[in-house]
Amino acid sequence: MKQILFVDACMRGPELSRTSRLCRSFLEEFTARCPDSQVSRRDLTDAKLPLLTGELAAQRDTWVKQGEEHPLLAPAREVAACDLLVIGAPYWDLSFPAALKGYLEWSSVLGITFRYAEDGRQVGLCRARALVYLTTAGGPVTGQNYGFDYVRALGGMFGIPDARCVAAEGLDVWGNDPQSILSRAQEEARALARTLAETL
């Protein structure tokens, strides 16, 4: 059974969020192709995770060293254990909402999602073979998709070798047809789901 972790940073909720619609297209297609898949959704829209302060970071290191299963280690545990990581986040201020940055900080835990080799190299500990980043934007994204650039680099640090992005951009540009743009992106997301369902 494939474990899919869906990190939902679609802050406007499923009724209003265009990114949420894009995510549904991918997940529905993937699970249709892989009916034995199990999707776990991490909802970031209520932003319950605390900001990672220096004090909390030191405490987190202690939890890991002592083998304690603290609830704040859950983001790292779930990222490490999934077979496919799917992140849905709108394009805000050239990247993504702050709630996603907080989640990714809590996911980046020495000894859970990565470690250091004897020569100092970072070695990823995550099981996932692919990461999918789904985003929508009112304006242009191409050439300045910094949110995906960051997530892709972090995924590499975690040992996830393949990172893909589907973006619906220019949705609020005057004269554009937003429904047509989103529909094309949804079909691109479905095509990517079909490809990954065959290769993962």
* pLDDT tens-digit readout, 58-76: 999 999 999 999 999 999 9
Q: What is the mean pLDDT of residues 32-49?
A: 93
Q: Are 123 and 114 in contact (CB under 8 A)?
A: yes
What pTM was estimated for this model as a whole?
Answer: 0.96
Residue range 39-61: mean pLDDT, rounded: 94
Above 80 in pLDDT, residue 47?
A: no
Going by pLDDT thresholds of 50, 70 and 90, the confidence category of residue 197 is very high
pLDDT of residue 37: 95
Query: pLDDT confidence of 48, banded at 50, 70, 90?
Result: confident
- Give the pLDDT of residue 104: 98
* Percent of the chain predicted with pLDDT > 90: 95
Given pLDDT bands bounded at 50, 70 and 90, which one contains residue 182? very high
Q: How far is CA 164 from CA 2, 18, 59, 180, in A?
A: 18, 19, 34, 22
Pairing between β-strand 130-136 and β-strand 3-8 as defined by DSSP bridges: unpaired
**Is-contact 127 160, C-beta < 8 A?**
no
| pLDDT value of position 46 | 86
Name the one residue in this structure whose structure tokens are 């990581």.
Answer: 85
121-165 pLDDT, tens digit per residue, is 999 999 999 999 999 999 999 999 999 999 999 999 999 999 999
What does the pLDDT look like over 70-98, one tens digit per residue? Answer: 999 999 999 999 999 999 999 999 999 99
Predicted confidence (pLDDT) at residue 14 exceeds the cutoff of 90: no
